[in-house]
Structure 1
Amino acid sequence: MSFVPYLSFNGQAREALTAYAQIFGATDLQLMAFSDAPPETAPPETAPPGTAPAGAAPAGAEKLIMHGQFSAGGSTLMAADMPGNPPDGMASPSVFHGAANAETAARVFAALSERGQIILPLGQTFWSPCFGMLKDRFGTTWMITLAA
């Protein structure tokens, strides 16, 4: 059994997933825009106001990401834009990343914190020789440490 983080964005999923894929060295970034959905997923004329089937894009949201994902280091990260239902500033749980070594942890931490906010600088703690927390420019909170 595995658990995969699924992040919600308000129009930034393409930019966020592209940045994350580059930071983590992924080569399999997949992005599906709402405009890529088959036409038969458009809401029927008889649908109650405000309802739409999965894949139907609200007006003006066609280029937003319906689903995106990439894999790196044996893990997968998924995300989507949630048009019409903006998330509460990414109030979801933090994403925890265990880096292979201190150099990788420092590189990832620096890249994610660019234009973001450092919550706890990367450094030694009583539970880890290398741990730090930050909120990136997309509003995602990250916990970076060394893999066990």
Structure 2
Amino acid sequence: MSLNAVAHLNFHGQARAALEFYQSVFGGQATIVTYGDFGMSADLPDAGKVVFGQVTAGNGFRVMAYDVPGTDGPAAPAEPTTRRENGTTITREPFFLSIRGETVDEVAAVWERLADGATVIEAFGPAQWAPAFGMLADRFGVTWILDVATEYAPA
């Protein structure tokens, strides 16, 4: 048996824009199906919203998203809820999305695209535990950690 855990992001009217942005960052194929595609009457306000969406890329990236029906709201919280202080992460968020690559160049390229319109929590650069690390909240309010894989051996 094979299992995969895939982040499923919930939006309030921004799922299409988020999926299109993530496809522009990570590449791959976007699948976007609306409530209208599933038979909701076109004259209802949620008909054009995303009921099922995903981006799947050959590099292993995969994310799913949809719009919670009956809701519209801001694309991101007014203030990020995560910050770095004295080398530690302070947050009330239940999760972050993590992107890990094999080289600094590979991850830096993703960082540059994902950072467009984002709030940088910690700039991408060398860290004690990795050749490079960075944290940001993207334009949709999703917090991402990007780092470069390294073997970690506790002292």
Deviates more, 1:79-88 or 1:128-137: 79-88
CA distance in 1, matches of 2:7, 2:72: 18
Which structure is richer in relative contact order (CA contacts within 8 A, separation 6 or more)?
1
CA distance in 1, matches of 2:37, 2:68: 16
Deviations 1:22-51 (A, max 9, x none): 21121x210001110035xx8xxxxxxxxx
Task: Establish whether residue 137 from structure 1 lines up as the match of residue 123 from structure 2.
Answer: no
After TM superposition, give the deviation of residue 84 of structure 1 in Å: 2.5
After TM superposition, give the deviation of residue 100 of structure 1 in Å: 3.3
The TM-score, its normalising length taken from structure 1, stands at 0.78
CA distance in 2, matches of 1:5, 1:136: 15
CA distance in 2, matches of 1:107, 1:8: 26
CA contact (8 A) 1:58 1:83 kept: no
Identity of aligned residues (%): 31
**1:3 pairs with one of 5, 18, 28:** 5
Deviations 1:102-144 (A, max 9, x none): 1121121121111110001111111111110000101111111
Which of the two has greater strand per residue?
Answer: 2
CA distance in 1, matches of 2:61, 2:109: 18
Q: Unaligned regions of 5+ residues in structure 1, if any? A: 43-56
| Aligned position for 2:122 | 120
Q: Unaligned regions of 5+ residues in structure 2, if any? A: 82-92, 151-155
